[in-house]
Amino acid sequence: MANVPGLVTDPSKIKGGLVHVPSGGSKIPAYLAQPNQDGNYPGIVVIHEAFGLADHICDLARRFANIGYNAIAPDLYWRDGNPKDPGDIQTVFPVMFGLKDSQAVGDLEAAADFVNGLKGATGKVGAIGFCSGGRHTLLFACSSSKVDAAVDCWGGFIHRATPDAETTPSRPTKVLDLMGNLHCPLFGVFGGEDQNPPVELADEMKKRGAGKDVTTKVYQNAGHAFLADYRPSYKEGPAHELWKDATAFFAKHLK
């Protein structure tokens, strides 16, 4: 295995498994990871990439549980179906672009409510997402008061709906245009070699969030998805740097 940040070396310290989260008259599946010792813990909603609720996202939830969080990763694609072949981007795009923003926010709010309802929950909930999940993290933070700290990791298409459209019925508003409604501290993560989002949007994010608690950082020698240790895009040095920064950000605002 690659040298990955936050690796759980003692699995007995955590517990995890599938749960079903009530949302919008249904129950959506989610992966829940928790410390194995009773205590008072904040929550973190871990939001999956364009490919869906992959093992990597569940593993990240376990890493957060290992440092004292109730971490939940909801399957945002469950209602309408996951990509038939996550390895084929042509099957991923229609699912990713077709997910309604309003539906995603509702399910993320439900996930936040779920972890806040757990025994020992502190009432503080963070959110972190990657790729399309980074976009959903920013959308969540700008649309709901149920999140107390947000980390948007290379959220693509925050400045337009798709490569071909400024807005769509599923994505009726550019997420950057919602920055004035930001409800919580935000940490925007960008790879210096990334094209979507381009690094120029780091400054635009701070500009749109003027008067809000917005921090951005461009990680050098890193492109898109540099924390995804199951993909060739993984960059060990920047990944460890990001893990240190993100966990410090959450500790500051949630603990």
User: pLDDT tens for residues 17-26?
Assistant: 999 999 999 9
For the question of residue 131 being annotated catalytic, the response is: yes
In this prediction, residue 141 carries a pLDDT of 98
Active-site choice (56, 148, 224, 229): 224
> Given the DSSP bridges, would you call strands 14-23 and 26-35 parallel, antiparallel or unpaired?
antiparallel
- Regions of the chain short of the pLDDT cut 70: 1-2
In this prediction, residue 86 carries a pLDDT of 84
CATH superfamily of 14-254: Alpha/Beta hydrolase fold, catalytic domain (3.40.50.1820)
Per-domain boundaries in the chain: 14-254
For the question of residue 194 being annotated catalytic, the response is: yes
In contact, 151 and 187? CB cutoff 8 Å: yes
- pLDDT tens digits, one per residue of 190-208: 999 999 999 999 999 999 9
In this prediction, residue 2 carries a pLDDT of 62
| Dist CA 40 CA 243 (whole Å) | 22
For the question of residue 224 being annotated catalytic, the response is: yes
Active-site choice (59, 107, 148, 194): 194
| Dist CA 207 CA 81 (whole Å) | 36
Report the predicted TM-score, pTM, of the whole model to 2 decimal places.
0.97
| Dist CA 25 CA 38 (whole Å) | 31
> Given the DSSP bridges, would you call strands 121-130 and 149-153 parallel, antiparallel or unpaired?
parallel
| 200 CB-near residues (< 8 Å, 6+ apart) | none
In this prediction, residue 89 carries a pLDDT of 85
CA-to-CA separations, 54 to 58, 146, 170, 219, in angstroms, rounded: 7, 25, 23, 24
Longest dimension (CA), the chain: 50
Buried-state track 201-224, b at ≥16 Cβ within 10 A, e below 16 = bbebbbebbeebebbbebbeebeb
Active-site choice (58, 131, 142, 184): 131
